[in-house]
Amino acid sequence: MGLKSYIVKRIIKSIVLVLFVLFLNFVIFELMPGDPMQFFVSAGRMRPEMVAEVKARFGLDQPVQVRLVKYMGNMLTWNFGYSFYTTTPVSQEILVRIPNTLLLIGLSTVFSIVIGIILGVFAAQRRGSVYDSVSVVGSLITFSLPSFWIGMILILIFHTSLGWFPGAGAWPREWAISPPQNILQVIAGRVQYLFLPLLTLTIFSYGGYVLLTRATMLEALTEDYITTAKAKGLSQRTILFKHALKNASLPLITNIALAFGYLFMGAIITEQVFTYPGLGQYLWTGITFKDYPVIQAMFYVIGLCVIIANFLADLAYGIVDPRIKYE
């Protein structure tokens, strides 16, 4: 099967999978116990006589098959409806928070991948050395620590004790009254507030890439082509990164694709610790207040991103390793 035929086949499968995810997403919330409207009544945010009116407004009083058809159409057109809690359009809230999440999760993912792969390559090269032991132990420790604990320790050190960085938010509060006048002020302010949550996620995530890279590289370094490359007099850097890492990168591609697939999920716990207004905090708020439109929209976006990431990973396999045939 040629590349074009494979792409068409994978696109069709991906579309079917997206429809299945949508259907499953609808069924899950239909079968969930409890009534979100009653939650708002008990919390004092809604009078009991308003329940029927609100259900009619959101279409919750219609038959399940009618709601399913409308739900599928709305999700496919990115019309996610209105939040039960804030009454604002969910798609509008998501668009406002996406830049914050892309900055935090995107940069932390890139830094974790680069740092983890480089450290993992050198750990495999120096197997059994002190550097290898320190890298493995350090990776296991940081990968095992809860992200909220890492964040709280960094806040204690860099915010409370040293006062170098702010401990909450995504930009200075005074910007609401007096916005910055130039791009340099914007960059400086955002970097200052981004540093601690970015450092938290990088410390928490890089260890997984170190361990995975080391494991795949140890196997690759025993292959005959590595011996041949050494016999040709190639430099150690060329052997490690151009030959061994390229052939050991297939598991890494899968892991990286999934990491970027979950990009729009946000860092739920870390964003809560730093009160960072990203998609993770938005999803947490939706779960806390049983805001079904928000949760459904976020689950759909996450599922869609994971499907797209897996599709791109399958294509990348053939680029990295020409021995792979598209079938």
Q: What is the pLDDT of residues 131-180, one digit of tens each?
A: 888 888 888 888 888 888 888 999 999 988 888 888 887 777 777 677 77
Domain count, the chain: 1
Q: Is residue 191 part of a domain?
A: yes
Structural domain that includes position 247: 102-291
User: Do the domain assignments include residue 115?
Assistant: yes
Q: Is residue 23 in some structural domain?
A: no
Residue at 9 is within a domain: no
Task: Evaluate whether residue 5 is within a structural domain.
Answer: no
Q: Is 284 exposed, middle or buried (0-12, 13-18, 19+ CB in 10 A)?
A: middle
Distance CA 113, CA 37 (A): 43
CATH number at residue 273: 1.10.3720.10
Tell me the per-residue pLDDT of 65-98, one tens digit each, with 9 for 90 and over: 888 888 888 888 888 888 877 778 888 888 888 8
pTM of the full structure:
0.77
pLDDT for the residue 65: 81
CB 280 within 8 A of CB 267: yes
Angstrom distance (rounded) from CA 16 to CA 286: 28
Does any domain span residue 203? Answer: yes
Collapsed DSSP state (helix, strand, coil) of residue 232? coil
Of 263, 258, 266, 254, whose CA–CA distance to 307 is shortest? 258
Q: Do the domain assignments include residue 41?
A: no
Q: What does the alpha-carbon distance between residue 277 and residue 285 come to, in Å, rounded to a whole number?
A: 11
